[in-house]
Amino acid sequence: MINAVFFDVGGTILDESREFATWADWLGVPRHTFSAVFGAVIARGLDYQETFRTFRPDFDLAAELDRRATAGQPETFGAEDLYPDARGCLTALRDQGLLVGLAGNQPAHAEATLRALDLSVDVIGTSHGWGVAKPSAGFFERVLAEGGGDASSILYVGDRPDNDARPALAAGMKACLIRRSPWGHILDLPAVAEQCLFRIDTLDDLPGLVAEHNAARG
């Protein structure tokens, strides 16, 4: 049975397209050029920050975030950046009596911003708040603790086979891959995808799949 469902944030419930566009503008790079390099970095399995270093070799994310904030252009997101299927999916799963959580690699400001969105979730955890980031085992140990302690009853949903599905499976959890975001479309790890309980293209499908899964085991 699935008793808890945790979601990655960026690329899963949150559309990061506007965020990437603002980074291209900040770096003074045409948006389509930034996107092309971003895709190439992902396809090579590199850290996404290598995209920024292509245009600025000394790029330091923390320092650059501070500069943006000082310049009145902080990195941020709001309700308008949620994928259209996110809010309804979270609500539908919670209505099934499941524990629903968000757990992703996010900076300091994100936790308060996520709480302000008034989403139907029981837990909001971020790498900054927890002091540990994906794909480390420590991050998924925290998900396990927040989800009730039984890894086999937790489903982790994300767009990345490397940072989301693979470490969740290694922790004994079930995994769901959603095919969207640059990682979801470009990074293909068949051996990981084949182990996932679900592979979806929209969160609209997830509540029904979880309900069917649980009914078959009830």
Structural domain count of the chain: 2
Task: Say if residue 91 is in the same domain as residue 47.
Answer: no
In DSSP notation, the chain reads ---EEEE-SBTTTB--HHHHHHHHHHHT--HHHHHHHHHHHHHTT--TTHHHHHH-TT--HHHHHHHHHHTT------GGGB-TTHHHHHHHHHHTT-EEEEEE---TTHHHHHHHT--S-SEEEEHHHHT--TTSHHHHHHHHHHTTS-GGGEEEEES-IIIIIHHHHHTT-EEEEE--HHHHHH---HHHHTT-SEEES-GGGHHHHHHHHHHHT-
Task: Say if residue 34 is in the same domain as residue 109.
Answer: no
Convert the pLDDT of each residue in 74-110 to its tens digit: 888 999 999 999 999 999 999 999 999 999 999 888 9
Query: Which of 49, 70, 91 is the C-terminal boundary of a domain?
Result: 70
Task: Say if residue 109 is in the same domain as residue 48.
Answer: no
Task: Say if residue 192 is in the same domain as residue 132.
Answer: yes
Residue 211 lies in a domain: yes
Q: Which domain holds residue 91?
A: 4-15+81-216
Task: Say if residue 125 is in the same domain as residue 166.
Answer: yes
Q: For position 218, what pLDDT does the model report?
A: 77
Residue 76 lies in a domain: no
Residue 170 lies in a domain: yes
Residue 147 lies in a domain: yes
Residue 75 lies in a domain: no
Convert the pLDDT of each residue in 130-174 to its tens digit: 999 999 999 999 999 999 999 999 999 999 999 999 999 999 999
